[in-house]
Structure 1
């Protein structure tokens, strides 16, 4: 009687992952407001109530998609527990990885722009995300300074803002140029002007 439970659980997890993947694609294509749960359900081969069994609201689904994206990226960034210039290199490598994940870049760019509105369901998420991203990047620049690897005229707080703004802006250029923009290359060239070691 219990032998079917693991299989059912695995099947449910697989369907949940499929829903997240399809939702990520549609949110990237149409934005949060333009996406339909019924369309996502159809793409997954399930009914609308079937989708609601996994995610009771559209807002819950969006936040789950964003969290899933962060979990994957955070696990990747944590590899090797980098700090200072090495962490900045890791962030630049993330831009290179993103060049192979158009759907994720579209999702982030479209929904981040929508979420500037205070009444958007992901507004608080992006507020917290940018606050954390800026703090972590500023810390990396400060660690680079402590290691003697940052130019004296570079302010860590300003450099962190510039890095995040450049990274996000490059994603939009990359999407518009049909993936022709070298996101990682531009980021590396930028950081190279700020550090005293080969980047």
Structure 2
């Protein structure tokens, strides 16, 4: 995809969220990576679904010029869990010459070369199917802690939180347990780093949506992203006990992380009021409390109720909540009404 006008980060974030919505609606999955004003990715699904989806993208001016570089038939999907995973810059990705040329050089008109480079991109993603989870950047490509955290994310995704031990992570990372403990002295330290990196990979590309369309739109995009990552939701849920303790290692950090996220939503709501997206009668602090109660509650509910449509539930609840923001607040005490009619 090459846009007719350069993408801003906000415009691309909105585009990414819209791509996920459209893909999910027709059971199409895949991955997208971006370099400046070019996006290249993989779209997978049943033949007719993929053809129809590509036709939709080519007809939508927001995506610019959409070209098919290569296509093939496969028995299974590479990204069955993701409507449209987003792969941020990764030194390994740019390390493949054909992929690097595909992302950075002028597109060659030779269909044979384009097909070869498209196949190289698909091969890279097949070899690194969890790469979008780690948000690796060129600046930290040589960092041993980053490498270990990426390994830990992969291990947890494959085994579950209960079996993701320090010993197993060390074994898969090909380092000794003593070397791992130097990097992450306790399991909460490693969990903290995993959440920070994994959640950052999901939220970072979407954050500009808050400035473009508002806090509710940003959280909606996050709900969609988290719905595709139940392993991350389980990891976050596993920290609840630690987060509420004043004595457990990492508790203060997790509380600070939550407070920081709440501040992002509160500030976005304040911007929404100034921009006229939300009514002036809405108190941003209380609005953030309500939205996070919904966001966190849906993530927990999805773990207890597999198959829950988190996005639909979010849409229904926020529609009513936003209407309430426009109305004067009246405290409602159902017990007062019950006792008012009781006579001695």
TM-score of the pair, normalised by structure 1:
0.74
Instruction: State which of 174, 179, 184 in structure 1 corresponds to 2:311.
Output: 184
Ranked by relative contact order (alpha carbons within 8 Å, sequence separation 6 or more), the top structure is 1
Q: What is the aligned partner in structure 1 of residue 193 from structure 2?
A: 64
Runs (5+) with no aligned partner, structure 1 = 1-8
Report the counterpart of residue 64 of structure 2 in structure 1.
none
Equivalent pairs counted in the alignment come to 183
Corresponding residue of 2:236:
108
Question: Matched residues in 1 for 2:283 and 2:224: separation?
Answer: 25
Aligned 8 A contact 2:149 2:193 in 1: no
Structure 1 or 2: more helix by fraction: 1
Give 3-state SS (helix, strand or coil) of 1:107's partner: helix
Q: Does 1:136 align with 2:268?
A: no
CA gap 1:167/1:39 in 2 versus in 1, 3 angstroms: same
Note if contact 1:134-1:164 (Cα within 8 Å) is conserved in structure 2. yes
CA distance in 1, matches of 2:196, 2:314: 25
Cα drift, residue 149 of structure 1: 2.7
CA distance in 2, matches of 1:121, 1:22: 24
TM-score (norm 2): 0.46
Separation of aligned partners in 1, 2:292 and 2:160:
20
1:19 is matched with 151
Partner residue in 2 for 1:159 = 287
Q: What is aligned with 2:91?
A: none
Cα deviation per residue 1:118-160 (whole Å; 9 max; x = unaligned)? 1222211221122112222122222222222324553221111
* Of 99-108 and 67-76, the range deviating more from structure 2: 67-76
More strand by share: 2
| RMSD of aligned alpha carbons | 3.2
> Displacement, 1:166?
1.0
Distance in 1 of aligned mates of 2:241 and 2:185: 25
Equivalent-residue separation in structure 2 for 1:14 and 1:135 (angstroms): 27
Separation of aligned partners in 1, 2:237 and 2:220: 17
1:90 aligns with 2:222: no
SS in 2 for 1:154: coil
Q: Is the 8 A contact 1:18 1:44 kept in 2?
A: no
